[in-house]
Amino acid sequence: MLEAAGVRLDLTGTEPFLPAAQLDALAPRVAEAARGLATGTCAGNEFLGWLDLPSRIDEAALAACEAAAARARADAEACVVVGIGGSYLGARAVLDALPPVPGDGVPLLFAGTGLCAAGLDRVLATIADRDFRVCVISKSGTTVEPAVAFRVLRQELRRRYGDKGAAARITAVTDAQRGALRQLATTEGWETFVVPDDIGGRFSVLTPVGLVPLAIAGVDVRGLVAGARAMQEACAGEGLRDNPAHLYAAVRYQLYTQGFTTEVMSSFHSGLHNLQEWWKQLFGESEGKQGQGIFPASTVFTTDLHSLGQYLQDGRRCLQETFLCARHTVPGLVVPSDPGADADGLGYLAGRSFDEINWIAFEATRQAHIQGGVPCQALSVDAVTPRTVGALLYMFEKAVGIGGLLLGLNPFDQPGVEAYKLEMFKRLGRPA
């Protein structure tokens, strides 16, 4: 068991499949990958700004996010965040993971995450009788999904508040100098924040891309950054056994070489669903290249044990599993006694907390899957807080950098993402 920054990594579920000597033999390659990141000599070195970002976020940057949040609280009952992929997934992951703090922020809605008309219509219906703001996030301003959604929302702002009033209700998080959104923001006089040039979208949650909307929502962004900073320090060395990011990356890579080519991240906390979605983008875009990479999938238990449980237990043995668990969520919620109505036979659970029962379900599931031939890592925290979420975000970012380099890939580009766009533009008749 390795613990760092409030996160515990337990490898006991991989030991029947991965001898310690085999894992330790990877240590020199892991150290080499870590040096490549630290010295900026690895593939994709132009996108390493995330590596020391937590320690570089200063008081001025945090205060600017909090000032934007204060302005939003003063005049809005909702804020629509417009973005796709890394431009929204990080913020949504953090927001959904954390317990709500009533009255501390402005509710967030998300648009531009796809081209589904029904989804955008639901957002418009929600803000129909509410004062609202828009936070549009795009480095270029030309990505189709957020750009067309922003057109609709900006039109609605102008209809309600006029051109000047609309401009006062738009915050743009975009490139410092270039791009269509930067040009429009400068012309219209919108409040702006900068997306750093050396940080790719899926690594951007601790930049204004994530921190601005999260501050607006009332999230403790200082705690989030503090947790990431603590994990950055814990992951700074070149070692294997004392570094959670390196250890996680090495285990999953070695299992991959043994034929465990799909990694299922399984959580027992429904609020972590979008953190799992963020994880899938982070690892899928970073490693899925040149016919290589671990396929990232996710489940939320115990719900999915009643749908995918059979496959996980008995299907093709190409699966490795990473559990993501919180020991305590709502300790005060217990199973009540119901004298005289024990037809369900569950009276023996009366007085026990849902957290206790859920944790036992995790332990039982892990053991069953190990016995069924699935190697299992387990990541756990005592509670889901801004600090522990920040620590997890950084640990995964560092791990995917190491993992991609172990595969011999550039973890920081995504050349395959353009394929669908080119075909879609052709079919839509985009001018040449």
Counting beta carbons within 10 angstroms of the beta carbon of residue 105, is it exposed (0 to 12), middle (13 to 18) or buried (19 or more)?
A: buried
Q: Among all chains, which residue has been given the structure tokens 């795009």?
A: 138
pLDDT higher than threshold 80 for residue 423: no
- Give the helix/strand (H/E) hosting 322: strand 319-328
pTM: 0.95
- The CATH code of the domain at 53-221 is 3.40.50.10490
List 59, 306, 418, 426, catalytic entry: 306
- Using DSSP's 3-state secondary structure scheme, residue 55 falls into helix
Domain boundaries defined on the chain = 2-43+225-412, 53-221
231 vs 276: CA distance, rounded Å? 19
pLDDT higher than threshold 90 for residue 180: yes
51 vs 170: CA distance, rounded Å? 30
Residues 6+ apart with CB under 8 A from 151: none
pLDDT, residue 414, reads 86
* Averaged pLDDT score across all residues of the chain: 94
pLDDT higher than threshold 90 for residue 342: no
- pLDDT per position as a tens digit, 197-213: 999 999 999 999 999 99
Which is higher by pLDDT, 408 or 141? 408
Give percent of the chain above pLDDT 90: 88
291-294 long-range CB contacts below 8 Å, 24 or more apart? 292/407, 292/408, 292/409, 293/407, 293/409, 294/252, 294/253, 294/256, 294/261, 294/262, 294/263, 294/320, 294/403
Residues 6+ apart with CB under 8 A from 294: 252, 253, 256, 261, 262, 263, 283, 287, 320, 403
pLDDT, residue 331, reads 85
pLDDT, residue 82, reads 97
279 vs 336: CA distance, rounded Å? 36
Average pLDDT over every residue of 222-237: 97
- pLDDT per position as a tens digit, 13-56: 999 999 999 999 999 999 999 999 999 999 999 999 999 999 99
Q: Is 321 among the residues known to form the active site? A: no
Q: Any idea which of 59-68, 289-298, 413-422 has the lowest mean pLDDT?
A: 413-422
Average pLDDT over every residue of 242-269: 98
List 263, 285, 321, 397, catalytic entry: 285
CA 96 to chain centre: 10
Structure tokens at 230: 């603590």
pLDDT, residue 100, reads 76
Q: Is 280 among the residues known to form the active site? A: no
pLDDT higher than threshold 90 for residue 368: yes
| Alpha-carbon dihedral sign for residues 144, 146, 148, 151 | negative
Helix axes of 221-234 and 244-257: crossing angle, nearest 10 degrees: 70
Among residues 220, 196, 209, the alpha carbon closest in space to that of 49 is found at 196
385: preceding bond cis by omega (within 30 degrees): no
Topology given in CATH for the domain delimited by 2-43+225-412: Rossmann fold (3.40.50)
pLDDT, residue 420, reads 80
pLDDT band, residue 417 (cuts 50/70/90): confident
Among residues 69, 61, 190, 70, the alpha carbon closest in space to that of 138 is found at 190
Rounded to 5°, the CA angle 91-142-96 comes to 15
pLDDT, residue 425, reads 78
Q: Any idea which of 72-76, 258-262, 422-426 has the lowest mean pLDDT?
A: 422-426
pLDDT higher than threshold 80 for residue 184: yes
Q: Are the CB atoms for 161 and 223 separated by under 8 Å?
A: no
pLDDT higher than threshold 80 for residue 317: yes
- pLDDT per position as a tens digit, 72-98: 999 999 999 999 998 899 999 999 999
pLDDT higher than threshold 90 for residue 419: no
112 vs 154: CA distance, rounded Å? 13
Q: Which residues pair with 80 in a beta bridge?
A: 109, 134
Taking CA atoms, 321 is separated from 19, 266, 425, in Å, by 17, 7, 38
Q: Are the CB atoms for 40 and 279 separated by under 8 Å?
A: no
Which is higher by pLDDT, 343 or 2? 2
- pLDDT per position as a tens digit, 96-137: 999 877 777 999 999 999 999 999 999 999 999 999 999 999
- Give the helix/strand (H/E) hosting 98: none
List 46, 363, 421, 423, catalytic entry: 421
pLDDT higher than threshold 90 for residue 415: no
Q: Is 306 among the residues known to form the active site? A: yes
Q: Do the first three CATH levels of 2-43+225-412 and 53-221 match, i.e. the same topology?
A: yes
- Using DSSP's 3-state secondary structure scheme, residue 230 falls into helix
Give percent of the chain above pLDDT 70: 99
Taking CA atoms, 409 is separated from 46, 102, 287, in Å, by 14, 44, 7
pLDDT, residue 231, reads 98
pLDDT, residue 142, reads 83
- pLDDT per position as a tens digit, 237-251: 999 999 999 999 999
pLDDT band, residue 63 (cuts 50/70/90): very high
Q: Are the CB atoms for 339 and 302 separated by under 8 Å?
A: no
